[in-house]
Homo-oligomer: A and B are copies of this chain.
Amino acid sequence: MARPSSPNRGKGEEATAVNRREQILEAAVAVFAEHGYYRATTAQVAEQVGISQPYVFKIFKNKEELFVAALGRAFDRIVRAFEGLETAGDQVLREAIQVYEQLMETHPNEIILQVQALGIRDEAIRGAMQDGMRKVTGLVEGKFTAAGLDHPEVLVSTFMANGMLCNIAMSLEMPELKPKHLEQE
Contact = CB atoms under 8 A, between A and B. Distances in A.
Interface of A: 34-39, 112, 115-122, 126, 129-130, 133-134, 137, 151, 153-154, 157-158, 160-162, 164-165, 168, 171-174, 177, 179-182
A121 B174 contact: no
Nearest to A163: B161
25 contacts: A35-B121, A36-B38, A37-B38, A38-B39, A112-B119, A115-B118, A116-B121, A118-B119, A118-B168, A118-B171, A119-B120, A130-B172, A130-B173, A133-B174, A133-B177, A151-B182, A154-B181, A154-B182, A157-B180, A158-B158, A161-B162, A161-B165, A161-B179, A164-B164, A164-B165
A153 B35 CA distance: 33
A70 to B, nearest CB: 14
Given A39-B121, A118-B118, A164-B164, A137 B177 contact: yes
Nearest to A134: B174
A134 B4 CA distance: 52
A112 to B, nearest CB: 8
Given A34-B121, A115-B118, 9 more contacts: A35-B121, A119-B120, A130-B173, A137-B177, A157-B180, A160-B165, A161-B162, A161-B165, A161-B179
B172 A126 contact: yes
Contacts of A39: 38, 121
B164 A168 contact: yes
B130 A157 contact: no
A133 B175 CA distance: 12
Contact of A119 (B119, B133, B151): B119
A117 B129 CA distance: 17
